[in-house]
Amino acid sequence: MESYAVISDIHSNVYALRAVVEDANAKGVATFINLGDIFYGPIEPKETFDYLCGLDVITISGNQDRQIYQSTESEVASNPTMKFVLDSLGETPIEWMKSLPFDLEINDDIYACHGTPSDDLTYLLEDISSGSAVIRDEAEVLDLLGAVSSKIILCGHSHTPRVLSLSSGQIAVNPGSVGLQAYADEDPVPHTIQNSTPKASYAILKKQGNEWDISLHRVGYDHEQAINCASTRHRNDWMECLRTGQCS
């Protein structure tokens, strides 16, 4: 049976990643699709890379992967977390990130992008104009998909697990975030994402005949290890998000 575990938005949280991989393996799934935003965060970027290298994983780029290797000296100087990530990773992971595709047709049925097919900074399934994430109207989703005709559309970026069946017959799947269950952002408008749980999130796709069975999963892990890393890097905001899945 063809099957995949879909992961996204690890954000350097190797502790959550290990728990997700172990859970997927226990469910009989050993091949992973990684939708990007892999290393940016105050936890364990290099350890995350090393662990991923041991997996059977198909990976695309996320916006914050791109922002790591595109960062300027002034941006790094004003962002201690970015400096930590760059210092931790070193040359090999950065060159690997540069090689990642923006999007990818995994097979005849599955298409993967981080945000939308044309923009890694836009949420495909959520509207955040109100300051929090609400599901988009279907017409907006279809417009953002453009010419993509694959049966299964995988997206990340919003850290919000969701499965949306469309009138086109397509199914859009966001596996949620492995590594960070809440955050606040100023772009494109001030908004928060809150899952109200510290548990990691991922999705499993299993092909049954000509159809795909899609399931979302939550996995507990020792998030205190991640919190301790965030504390060491003086990221109190991350500590709260990791602990509660909410923004203080």
Confidence of residue 248 (pLDDT cuts 50, 70, 90): confident
Residues 80, 86, 91: CA angle, nearest 5 degrees: 170
Residues 133-147 as b or e (16 or more Cβ within 10 Å = b): beebeeeebbebbee
pLDDT of 1 over the 90 cut: no
- Which region holds residue 160: left if phi is over 0, alpha if psi is between -120 and 50, else beta? beta
Q: How many structural domains is the chain composed of?
A: 1
- The tens digit of pLDDT for each residue in 57-110 reads 999 999 999 999 999 999 999 999 999 999 999 999 999 999 999 999 999 999
Is it true that the peptide bond before 117 is cis, omega within 30 degrees of 0?
no
Average pLDDT, the chain: 98
**Tell me, what's the pLDDT at 47?**
99
**Residue 164, CA distances (Å) to 89, 103, 197, 200, 223 in order:** 36, 20, 22, 20, 29
pLDDT of 220 over the 80 cut: yes
Number of Cβ within 10 Å of residue 76's Cβ equals 17
**Tell me, what's the pLDDT at 193?**
97
Q: In terms of residue numbers, what domain contains 124? A: 3-244
| Cβ proximity of 111 and 152 under 8 Å | yes
**Tell me, what's the pLDDT at 18?**
99
Confidence of residue 159 (pLDDT cuts 50, 70, 90): very high
Number of Cβ within 10 Å of residue 22's Cβ equals 12
- The tens digit of pLDDT for each residue in 102-136 reads 999 999 999 999 999 999 999 999 999 999 999 99
**Tell me, what's the pLDDT at 171?**
99
Q: What whole-number percentage of the chain has pLDDT above 90?
A: 98
CATH of the domain at 32: 3.60.21.10
Q: Average pLDDT for residues 216-228, to the nearest whole number?
A: 99
**Tell me, what's the pLDDT at 170?**
98
Rg (CA), the chain: 17
Break the chain down into helix, strand, coil percent, rounded to 5. Answer: 30, 25, 45
pTM equals 0.97
Confidence of residue 36 (pLDDT cuts 50, 70, 90): very high
